[in-house]
């Protein structure tokens, strides 16, 4: 199960959620290339993603480093299918929910707070510097042990940076949203770069790039209808 966990950790912040219908996106498909750099070692993940609003299902077809299919929904129901040996791993947790992620907030029009209000963060301060809007967010009591504050920076109403400060007020994560592309239905950052700083002074860099975005009638693939075979063996 280690490889399953690695895939989820790499992709989890960038999955899609279900409230797309309201904003004119009935279905969407695109490719993703993720790179993680730590201590000189590079791990890469490549996948194609297929989401349709009517049933809230997200299908992720991995092509590198393993060939597997992950299916999740807004209820946190998760299935990971290995086509080679016809096995499936199943789990359920709201951590896996297709609404608990960053790209969902872009698609749902929640770019002002990137879902922080949904997590009960409170807006502390708003200021403007050199054409940028900078907001500071204070965490709810349940998250005091993780965060002291989160800083968001917007340019032209789109987020370009997020800074996360731990309980000791140290900057522990920086996220940059770049290469925005405008589609008829939505505007998306085609590149997201994340710097995670560890207690030992080291850092882990994650970069995700999206490509080949197809929306609504242009999103046409049999993978939207993929179902895990009924005879697949369930594994722990």
> Read out DSSP for 205-224?
EEEEEEEEEEEGGG---GGG
Say what the pTM is: 0.81
**With 70 as the cut, is the pLDDT of residue 12 above it?**
no
pLDDT at 151: 97
Q: How far is CA 129 from CA 16, 126, 134, 152, 179, in A?
A: 32, 10, 8, 13, 22
pLDDT at 102: 62
pLDDT per position as a tens digit, 126-178: 999 999 999 999 999 999 999 999 999 999 999 999 999 999 999 999 999 99
Structure tokens belonging to residue 2: 């280690």
- Give the pLDDT band of residue 2 (cuts 50, 70, 90): very low
**With 50 as the cut, is the pLDDT of residue 18 above it?**
no
Angle at the Cα of 65 (from 63 to 68), degrees rounded to 5? 50
Closest to 174 in 3D by CA, of 194, 152, 200: 194
pLDDT at 22: 41
Q: How far is CA 105 from CA 16, 98, 139, 151, in A?
A: 8, 11, 18, 16
Structure tokens belonging to residue 190: 């085609």
- The mean-pLDDT minimum among 29-38, 54-63, 77-86, 143-152 falls in 54-63
Structure tokens belonging to residue 59: 């299908």
CATH of domain 2-230: 2.50.20
**With 80 as the cut, is the pLDDT of residue 85 above it?**
yes
pLDDT per position as a tens digit, 92-128: 887 776 666 666 676 667 788 988 888 899 999 999 9
Q: Tell me the C-alpha distance between 52 and 58, whole Å.
A: 7
């Amino acid at each position: 199960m280690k490889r399953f966990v690695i895939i989820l950790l790499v992709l989890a912040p960038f999955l899609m959620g279900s409230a797309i219908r309201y904003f004119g996106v009935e279905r969407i498909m695109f490719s993703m290339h993720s790179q993680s750099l730590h201590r000189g070692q590079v791990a890469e993940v490549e996948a194609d993603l297929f989401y349709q609003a009517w049933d809230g299902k997200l299908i992720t077809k991995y092509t590198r480093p393993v060939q597997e299919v992950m299916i999740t929904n807004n209820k946190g129901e998760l299935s990971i299918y290995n086509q080679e040996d016809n096995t499936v791993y199943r789990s359920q947790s709201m951590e896996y929910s297709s609404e608990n992620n960053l790209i969902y907030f872009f698609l749902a029009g929640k770019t002002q707070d990137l879902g922080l209000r949904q997590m009960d963060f409170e807006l502390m301060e708003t200021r403007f510097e050199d054409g940028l809007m900078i907001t500071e967010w204070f965490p709810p009591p349940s998250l005091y042990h993780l965060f002291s504050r989160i800083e968001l920076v917007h340019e032209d109403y789109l987020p370009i940076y997020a800074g996360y400060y731990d309980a000791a007020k140290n900057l522990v994560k920086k996220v940059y949203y770049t290469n925005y592309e405008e589609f008829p239905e939505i505007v998306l950052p085609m590149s997201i770069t994340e710097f995670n700083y560890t207690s030992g002074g080291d850092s882990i860099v994650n970069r995700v790039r999206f490509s080949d975005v197809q929306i609504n009638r242009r999103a046409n693939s049999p993978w939207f209808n993929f179902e895990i075979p009924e005879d697949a063996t369930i594994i722990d």
